[in-house]
Amino acid sequence: MEWTQSIKRNRTFTAGRALLVLALCIGLLSCATGAELIQKKKEAEAYRNMGEAYLVAGKNTQALRELLKAESLYPEDHLLQGDLGVAYMRKERLDDAIVHFKKAIEIRPDYAPAKNNLGAAYLAKGEIDRAISIFEELNRDILYASPHYPLFNLGRAYFMKKDYSTAERYFKEALGLRPEFVRARQWIGLTYMERGMLDQAIRELEKVVEKAPQVGQFHYDLAKAYAMAGRTSEALQHYETAAKLAPEESDLASQAKAAAEDLRSR
């Protein structure tokens, strides 16, 4: 009887020690796993920062390479997923962009920039009503720090629908919120062109070029308005400037050169 009790006590003691050792091992494993995760997050953030720098510089292939390295280490970063969406959009891989924008929103449902970019991706695909739904939802979000973006994109959506009066209204609302938002003014000018309001178009596009003289697209748009108004010499000047400012062998450079040649041949 005493032997049996002793065995029981020993078993209890041994089991207690085993549980203690197991708890210590689990604790150490958790600490190791936590430290490893922290290290992975730091490495992923470094790759993400490099990718963002490449995006700013317009080096989209290099950006994508760094961002994919970050994703392989820690994919549950809403900022990273949003960056990947932007990189894929610039590579014109819209379906891939949509996947990553949705992933960013899934990780953080209130991440408004990813929602705006998701709408822009649908707009680029020609899914205009789907895009409008997203932009309208964002426009109702009073906490969104950059409300001029969904307003601007709503303008672009209605421009694509050829509803130019509604487009103009949204562009003007965006410009009212952010007076230095030169792209909103650019699209107001384009809207006036489509409506045949050439004097107003030229006035707006001249302001755009004055604000951002190094952007080839702005010179191209102004040149087109001048050409439509019969102001050939001014149109030629800005087509030539657009061709010089645009990247070599880009579509914009080719279009500007072709438009200038067409004007000269008339």
Q: How do residues 174-195 score in pLDDT, each as one tens digit?
A: 999 999 999 999 999 999 999 9
Q: With beta carbons less than 8 A apart as the criterion, state whether 134 and 118 touch.
A: yes
The residue-averaged pLDDT of 4-32 equals 52
> pLDDT tens for residues 48-74?
999 999 999 999 999 999 999 999 999
1 pLDDT more than 50: no
CA distance 222 to 208: 9
Assign 4 a pLDDT band (cuts: 50, 70, 90). very low
C-beta separation of 234 from 226 below 8 A: yes
- The rounded mean pLDDT for the chain is 91
Number of helices (H), then strands (E), belonging to the chain: the values are: 13, 0
* CATH architecture of the domain with residue range 180-266: Alpha Horseshoe (1.25)
Q: How many CB atoms lie within 10 A of CB 226?
A: 24
Give the pLDDT of residue 24.
61
pLDDT for 139 beyond 70: yes
pLDDT exceeds cutoff 50 at 260: yes
For the chain, what are the domain ranges? 180-266
What's this model's pTM, rounded to 2 decimal places?
A: 0.81
Residue 93's nearest CA partner among 105, 101, 85 is 85
Cβ neighbors of 223 (< 8 A, separation 6 or more) are: 234, 235, 236, 237, 238, 239, 242, 256, 259
140-170 burial: b if 16+ Cβ within 10 Å, else e: eeeebeebbbbbbbbbbbbbeeeebebbbbb
Angle, vertex CA 119, rays to CA 117 and CA 123, nearest 5: 110
Q: What tokens were used for 39?
A: 């290290």
Is residue 79 predicted with pLDDT exceeding 70? yes
To the nearest whole percent, how much of the chain has pLDDT over 70?
88
Task: Tell me the average pLDDT across 230-249.
Answer: 95
Residue 263's CB: how many other CB atoms inside 10 A?
16
Predicted confidence at residue 33, as pLDDT, reads: 74
Mean pLDDT to the nearest integer, 216-232: 97
- pLDDT given at position 165: 97
The helix (run of H) or strand (run of E) holding residue 178 is none
Q: Which of 180, 252, 255 is nearest to 216 (CA)?
A: 252
Name the nearest CA neighbour of 168 among 154, 147, 181, 148: 154
Q: What is the pLDDT of residue 241?
A: 98
Joined tokens for residue 100:
């990553």
Contacts 24+ apart (CB under 8 A), 101-106: 103/75, 104/78, 104/79, 105/78
Least confident of 28-37, 84-93, 138-147: 28-37
